[in-house]
Structure 1
Amino acid sequence: MKPLSLLLAVASALGTAVSAGPAVIECWMVEDAGGGRLAKKPAALLLRQGPGTPPPRPDLEPELYLKVHDPAGTLQAAVRRYPSDAPPPHCELSRFIPLPASARWARGLTPGRSCPRALDGAWLMASVLSPIFSLSCLLRPQSEPQPEPALFTSATAVLTVLTYSPIAQIQLGQDALLDLRFAYMPSISEAAASLAPGPPPFGLEWRRQHLGKGHLLLAATPGLHEQMPAAQDGAVAFAAWDDDDPWGPWTGNGTLWLPAVQPFQEGTYLATVHLPYLQGQVALELSVQKPPKISLTPAPLVWAAPGEAPPELLCLVSRFYPAKGLEVEWELRGGPEGSFQKAEGQSWLSALRHHSDGSVSLSAHLQPIPVTAKHHGARYACRVHHPTLPTLGRSAEVTLEVAGLSGPSLEDSVGLFLSAFLLLGLIKALGWVAASRSTSKDPKEKKAQ
């Protein structure tokens, strides 16, 4: 049993290591180089390490090799969920300057317009993008001296804004839930400057950008009783701190709920969390979709005489979204050339028909070529490809019957039997009625004699 226990322990350790996500996130430090140009330098976020000092990175400047301390654990929790076989996330670092919120509705967060001296010093904003999560993390490098030569820089994650739904695909007419969570842990100097225990006031802002236009969707400052702009499109946000621990760290929720999503609500959603003089923002992409319904007429059979063309086939592709990306193919299955081939004939598409819910419909037409006896039993199929459908698409089909080659089917045989049975019963009934009438007339005739 000991070897088995050891094997299970090793397997468990390997599973934990695989699911723990990357220990280092490679980044680019992006700065303004003047003249409308940007300068980029390699950087890295060290999230976990083994015993001892961090592994050396001679390819990085020490101030851009950041050993991150995450008191709230939000950044670490997000990275642990990252699949080991997924491409590495995209990460950028930039300089950040603490400033009061510029929006009028958020001015209650910062009664004093000057930034406290406790926030002086260098700040960095890390933006990490991936299909799994999207986050922004406000980092404060530590100023403690290190032994020469310095190999890395320690930094604390002060404010982390995170979403686990960076790409949301919502069915047309259904509700959308755009995930947003955030965590805050003030640095030592901030905590010393603030005498009030408990989480600070915060502001939540959701904006939508689409086709070059943007507008405020929802704004909230819980507990400040400020005059807020009216929410748009029925949007509701769960804006609150999750706990009220006196000294932090604190986590909060800013998830947005949109009822019965329509196509006009597609676009980029910007979620911003405002703290006094600090901000964090993430972007989410929302797209609306609806798979098409497909019907083919005439169905289920189409008739034609040898040498004649079958009647026109109509494939109705109804109630789908988006309108782009739709393709219709006509196939002939089981024909004389083999089990599968492209159907010959003249084909065309109708114009789009728009519906009140934002979905669209169109019809595809095919006028097949004249058929021969070899086409008997073949099937015409209308195959539709659309971004909302699987790779092979979706199809509907009808069976071709060539006149003069079809024997009676089982249904026809049953129908003929039932017809004959009813006819025989009818004849017997008429004979019984006639016999009854003749019998009733005989006694009357005898009395008359």
Structure 2
Amino acid sequence: MRLNVNIVICLFLCAEVLGIQSLQQVPWLPCMLVDELVKFNDEGHAETQYQHRNAGLQFGHPGDSALNPNAITFLVTGSKVDMRKYIEGAVVEHQLQCEIRRYSTEGIQMRWPGLGAQDHDIWFTSTLRHTDGHFVITSFLRHTPATPTPGQADYRNWPAIADREMLTTSTAMLVFTRTPSVWVGLMKQPSLHCQFDVDHKAVDLTVEWRLQRRGERTTLFSHSRRSGQREGGGVELKGIGRGDASLTLPLTKQSSEGTYVCLVSVPPLFGSHEIALHIMEPPRVSLNVDSVISLVETEKQKVVCEAEGYYPLDVEMEWFREPSGGGGGLLPEKLDTVLYSSHRHHQDGTYSLSAFFLLHASLHDSGSKYFCRVSHSSLRMPIRKSFTLIVTEVDSWNLLWLFFGCGFILVMVATLCVMLPRLSSARAANKRKPY
């Protein structure tokens, strides 16, 4: 058993070193079977417990021996649908999450139209998920048990699976997306990827797209191959014929944000993938001053940092001061006198915010650099906008002229205060009649 596991790990490592672009040559993938144990309480309500069991996908032919005999093996045999060809890039074990679950047809009792299907087939889903979010693949595995299970195979009557059992399966259908999460700006036209593959010419095929947003569900597109009916747009019918159900959205706006669901139905199978669309618009940052400010000592200047046009709302703005020279290992000092405006909401759904402070010119601060730092979820690194402060001393001649000017003004004011009453008295005397 140890030798077999080492061989599998070696295959993965070799794929990474040699840059293999798919896993079509890898015969085994480790998985986790999430098994359901359903019990009914005294009130008749179903209570489900989930048991995680070691399992694996093994690709080969009927009758092959298990590569890992200590795990539950799902032997995936000859089918026109091969999930491995949809795995792109050099993928190794730690980059894949593989999960297998039982699948209930929800009361639909019909034979799968594919080759070799039986009335008593039972179903599993296998989901391969890239840890960095590059893709998600959900495959439907059909297993024909040697002994039919009485009644319908669902959570009330799941057939037991032994710890080291091997189940021979065939991939009947898969649904695949390369865009499980999408971040896009405003006024863009993104394409949400959704692809499917079926092991036969599926006449009874239905493709739908839905948008789930704030508790509301909207159907964006629907097409039935059997009836030929079509509603909505954004998906090419020619693409559906090739297994491509990707949706092209109109120009994005704030209301475009939400969860888009691609649904592919071939009875009795119903596959779907959720794609989260996030609107991200980075801020435009500017200052109301030039890169160098020259002030006279004691002079004041209002400095404003403006962040405009960002979405969503979670922006952070801070002002810092770096001492002149920037040496000595001193860290920038965060200013605690900064005031903020309220968030301004624009018609396009974006926001703006201002952070400002009153700069008091001091010779001690001359040569210091001030910078505004803006952080936002759309930015990999914060944006910095800065200026350098130059402070000059007050000119002594200017002080002298200022002194004489103020003195002259004071003398003139005092003179007026004395003369105005006298002028008023003289004017009143002149108005008296001569008799």
Tell me the TM-score normalised to structure 2 length. Answer: 0.71
Query: Post-superposition shift, 1:26?
Result: 1.3
- Aligned AA for 1:27? M
Q: Distance in 2 between matches of 1:217 and 1:159?
A: 23
Aligned mate of 2:236, from 214, 235, 238: 238
Q: Distance in 2 between matches of 1:290 and 1:381?
A: 22
Query: Cα–Cα, structure 1 residues 239 and 40, in superposed 2: closer, same or farther, change >3 Å?
Result: farther
SS in 1 for 2:86: helix
Q: Distance in 2 between matches of 1:334 and 1:267?
A: 46
Query: Post-superposition shift, 1:160?
Result: 0.2
- Matched with 2:153 is none
Contact 2:60 2:77 in 1 (8 A): no
- Aligned AA for 1:389? L
Query: Cα–Cα, structure 1 residues 142 and 119, in superposed 2: closer, same or farther, change >3 Å?
Result: closer
Q: Distance in 2 between matches of 1:80 and 1:257?
A: 22
- Aligned AA for 2:365? H
- Aligned AA for 1:36? E
- Matched with 1:44 is 55
- Matched with 1:195 is none
- Matched with 1:352 is 343
**1:218 to 2:229 alignment:** no
Tell me the TM-score normalised to structure 1 length. Answer: 0.69
- Matched with 1:132 is 134
- Matched with 2:167 is 153
**1:203 to 2:215 alignment:** no
Contact 1:204 1:272 in 2 (8 A): yes
- Matched with 2:84 is 76
Query: Post-superposition shift, 1:92?
Result: 4.0
SS in 1 for 2:337: strand
- Matched with 2:402 is none
Contact 1:66 1:153 in 2 (8 A): yes
Query: Cα–Cα, structure 1 residues 345 and 39, in superposed 2: closer, same or farther, change >3 Å?
Result: closer
Contact 1:335 1:378 in 2 (8 A): yes
Instruction: Please give the per-residue CA displacement for 1:284-331, whole angstroms capped at 9, x wherever unaligned.
Output: 11111111100011223333333x26412111100011112x111212
- Give matches, 1:27-426, under 5 Å: 27-31=32-36, 33-34=38-39, 35-48=46-59, 53-58=65-70, 60=71, 62=72, 65-69=73-77, 71-79=79-87, 81=89, 83-84=91-92, 86-89=94-97, 91-97=99-105, 115-116=110-111, 118-130=118-130, 131-143=133-145, 151-186=165-200, 198-222=201-225, 224-226=227-229, 228-229=230-231, 231=232, 235-240=233-238, 252-306=243-297, 308=298, 310-324=300-314, 326-335=315-324, 338=327, 340-368=331-359, 370-391=360-381, 393-404=382-393
- Aligned AA for 1:394? I
SS in 2 for 1:72: coil
Q: Distance in 2 between matches of 1:280 and 1:212?
A: 21
Contact 2:81 2:198 in 1 (8 A): no
SS in 2 for 1:264: helix
Query: Cα–Cα, structure 1 residues 46 and 36, in superposed 2: closer, same or farther, change >3 Å?
Result: same
Query: Post-superposition shift, 1:96?
Result: 2.2
Contact 1:330 1:383 in 2 (8 A): yes
Q: Distance in 1 between matches of 2:163 and 2:287?
A: 75
Query: Post-superposition shift, 1:222?
Result: 3.9
Query: Cα–Cα, structure 1 residues 180 and 400, in superposed 2: closer, same or farther, change >3 Å?
Result: same
Query: Cα–Cα, structure 1 residues 222 and 277, in superposed 2: closer, same or farther, change >3 Å?
Result: same
- Matched with 2:411 is none
- Aligned AA for 1:89? Q
Contact 2:316 2:376 in 1 (8 A): yes
Q: Distance in 2 between matches of 1:127 and 1:372?
A: 65
Which deviates further from its counterpart, 395-404 or 69-78?
A: 69-78
Query: Cα–Cα, structure 1 residues 52 and 69, in superposed 2: closer, same or farther, change >3 Å?
Result: closer
Instruction: Please give the per-residue CA displacement for 1:324-360, whole angstroms capped at 9, x wherever unaligned.
Output: 2x11121223437746512435112211111122111
Q: Distance in 2 between matches of 1:378 and 1:13?
A: 51
Q: Distance in 1 between matches of 2:337 and 2:100?
A: 54
SS in 2 for 1:346: coil
Contact 1:66 1:155 in 2 (8 A): yes
Q: Distance in 2 between matches of 1:372 and 1:85?
A: 62
Q: Distance in 2 between matches of 1:32 and 1:210?
A: 33
Instruction: Please give the per-residue CA displacement for 1:236-290, whole angstroms capped at 9, x wherever unaligned.
Output: 11344676xxxxxxx5110001011122222222111011332211111111111
- Aligned AA for 1:56? N
Contact 1:69 1:156 in 2 (8 A): yes
Q: Distance in 2 between matches of 1:334 and 1:174?
A: 43
SS in 1 for 2:134: coil
Gaps of 5+ in 2: 1-12, 40-45, 113-117, 148-161, 396-435
Contact 2:253 2:349 in 1 (8 A): yes
Q: Distance in 2 between matches of 1:119 and 1:349?
A: 69
Q: Distance in 1 between matches of 2:370 and 2:164?
A: 74
Query: Cα–Cα, structure 1 residues 295 and 150, in superposed 2: closer, same or farther, change >3 Å?
Result: closer
Contact 2:294 2:391 in 1 (8 A): yes
Count of residues paired in the alignment? 351
Query: Post-superposition shift, 1:151?
Result: 4.2
SS in 2 for 1:282: strand
Instruction: Please give the per-residue CA displacement for 1:153-199, whole angstroms capped at 9, x wherever unaligned.
Output: 1111101000011111111110110001100015xxxxxxxxxxx44
Instruction: Please give the per-residue CA displacement for 1:132-160, whole angstroms capped at 9, x wherever unaligned.
Output: 21122111014469xx9974111111010
Contact 1:208 1:268 in 2 (8 A): yes
Q: Distance in 1 between matches of 2:239 and 2:196?
A: 9
Q: Distance in 2 between matches of 1:170 and 1:352?
A: 22
Contact 1:334 1:378 in 2 (8 A): yes
RMSD over aligned CA atoms reads 3.4
- Aligned AA for 2:123? W
- Aligned AA for 2:349? G
Query: Post-superposition shift, 1:17?
Result: 5.7
Q: Distance in 1 between matches of 2:386 and 2:140?
A: 58
Query: Post-superposition shift, 1:68?
Result: 1.8
